[in-house]
Amino acid sequence: MPACSEKKNSAGQSGNRLKTKSSVLDQRRAGVLLHITSLPGDGGGSGTLGHEAYRFVEFLAAGGLSVWQTLPLGPTHTDRSPYQCLSSHAGNPLLISLDWLVDKGWLAKPQNPDRWSSSADYHYHCLQEAYADFQRAAGRTERRAFQDFVAAHDAWLDDFACYMALRRRYENRAWQEWPAPFRDRQPVALEQAQTGLKDRIEQSKFEQFVFFNQWNELRSFAHEYGVALFGDLPIFVAGDSADVWAGRNYFALDDNGQPLVVAGVPPDYFSETGQLWGNPQYDWQRMEADGFQWWLDRLKTQLELFDWIRIDHFRGFESYWEIPADAKTAIHGRWVKAPGEALLEKLHDTLGALPLVAEDLGVITPEVEALRDRFDLPGMKILQFAFDGGSGNAYLPHNHQINSVVYTGTHDNDTTLSWYESLPDDQQQYVMDYLGRPQSGMPWALLQCALASVAHLAIVPMQDILGLGPGHRMNTPGTTRDNWQWQFSWDQLNQERVDHLAHLVRIYGRDAQQT
């Protein structure tokens, strides 16, 4: 394994740095990237916050791993993308453990789900049954806890619950397609909705009460095992979301709520035509005039859930790629300056030191690096991006910095084994020459390289720990089919693999639980 030394980045060195909270990058650590949906399911559905999540924490601790990174937790559209959620505050009700509700006495033992058209329909039916049982059986303390939760989250919960009730009334159509009085949030229409859809609104609030309780219990359990939870915050939000419906004035929209310009990135490693995400762009001038309250509220919710948060597409805080709303690809966009420094200063001054990681991948300029370094935010190093462009490639381990997070790959990459097998022979040889021709082969060779890096945090996707090849990636950027569905099973993980992982974590000084 080659020696790995820190290489200082000159960008932003002249500015004063603002220190972040050091709950994770205070020492060398290692962790795993696995979304909740990728946990083993409970009879046909995706993973949840139930028993398998607790078992996963125990696996992390057994392997000397002290960080669990997930994808965003919000309720998704039918494409299941956690980066296009119906809310940037709410949790996905499909992640709620039904067994937990049974244990609470709020749900009878779930019946056979086969009679339902989908596992999601069955899950929501059980949640409705649980709310009915809660209303009948909950004690005074539980009812008070529910009321306190609703009051504590009133900045977003009322609007979200109303949005979800109206969305259901209008057959899950986007809010821009609702009748104008509801689309435009006319006071009389909203009052009618609050009255006529009261039961459905309260159901949504109950689901969020349950989600946050289950998450907080899991987080407490993880902390008992020395495991920190590392979240992910998309910089943009979905156009069809409670955020945009309730905060329309913060976005660049026309009179009908349709975006004037949308978000994406220019051509890059993942796509020759760029990535057309379609999210509405922010009205940054309005947000700044309001003291960035929208962002303050959003980050407060995430800090309630996570110990550390990755800002997806951080470079959009410095400049964002603005694309005409009617464009078919992301090619014909333009870079527009954003008030990232003012935003981060406001967040820092109001919330204190920020436990954030900057996703600084893609087209990164000295200005973006200066913004990242001004607030002392760790950046990201992806080893799958390291082996082209020569020895100066910033992702090669000898160019890493201590204040960064190294990955073999992310949720947007193929598994390391599949990536390596797809390389031309000469590039495979270069990779193995750089790694010192380890006997372990792929993907463990790259996993070991990540653990050896000087970067204080090393994160490995669960697929790489399991040694999985083609057919096991989580997402293919620029596509909308067959994504976000991957799950592992416990029979893919044997004790020998766990012991070997724990051994590597120890020899590279990343067993934070033993230091």
187 lies in some domain? yes
What the block records as the tokens of 468 is 């999985």
Does the global pTM surpass 0.85?
Answer: yes
* 3-state secondary structure string across 380-398: EEEHHHCCCCCCCCCCCHH
6 is catalytic: no
Which of 307, 312, 373, 414 is labelled catalytic?
A: 312
Q: What are 122-165's pLDDT values in tens digits?
A: 999 999 999 999 999 899 999 999 999 999 999 999 999 999 99
- Counting residues of the chain whose pLDDT is more than 90, the rounded percentage is 85
41 lies in some domain? no
Encoded amino acid at 218, one letter: L
CB atoms within 10 A of CB 471: 10
Torsion sign, CA atoms 218, 466, 475, 272? positive
Closest CA to 207 of 38, 36, 89: 89
Domain that holds residue 153: 87-213
Which of 159, 283, 359, 369 is labelled catalytic?
A: 359
Is the pLDDT confidence value at 14 over 50?
A: no
Q: What are 248-275's pLDDT values in tens digits?
A: 999 999 999 999 999 999 987 767 888 8
- Position 42 scores a pLDDT of 65
Is the pLDDT confidence value at 323 over 80?
A: yes
325 lies in some domain? no
Closest CA to 108 of 137, 141, 145, 143: 137
275 lies in some domain? no
What the block records as the tokens of 217 is 């219990």
Query: 3-12, 66-75, 250-259: which range is least confident on average?
Result: 3-12
- Position 44 scores a pLDDT of 57
Task: List C-alpha distances in Å: 220 to 37, 153, 234.
Answer: 20, 20, 25
Number of domains in the chain: 1
484 lies in some domain? no
How many Cα atoms sit within 13 Å of 19 on the Cβ side?
A: 5
Phi, psi of 459 (to 5 degrees): -120, 135
Number of H helices, E strands in the chain: 18, 12
Q: What's the pLDDT band for 117 if we cut at 50, 70, 90?
A: confident
- Position 478 scores a pLDDT of 77
16 lies in some domain? no
208 lies in some domain? yes
- Position 21 scores a pLDDT of 60
- Position 308 scores a pLDDT of 96
Q: How far apart are CA 363 and CA 461, in angstroms?
A: 24
Is the pLDDT confidence value at 355 over 90?
A: yes
- Please give the average per-residue pLDDT across 41-69, as a whole number: 91
How does strand 319-324 pair with strand 261-265? antiparallel
312 is catalytic: yes
CB atoms within 10 A of CB 437: 11
Do 412 and 473 meet the contact criterion of CB atoms below 8 Å apart? Answer: no
Which of 412, 414, 464, 511 is labelled catalytic?
A: 412
Rounded to the nearest integer, the mean pLDDT of the chain is 93
Query: 43-47, 306-310, 333-337: which range is least confident on average?
Result: 43-47
185 lies in some domain? yes
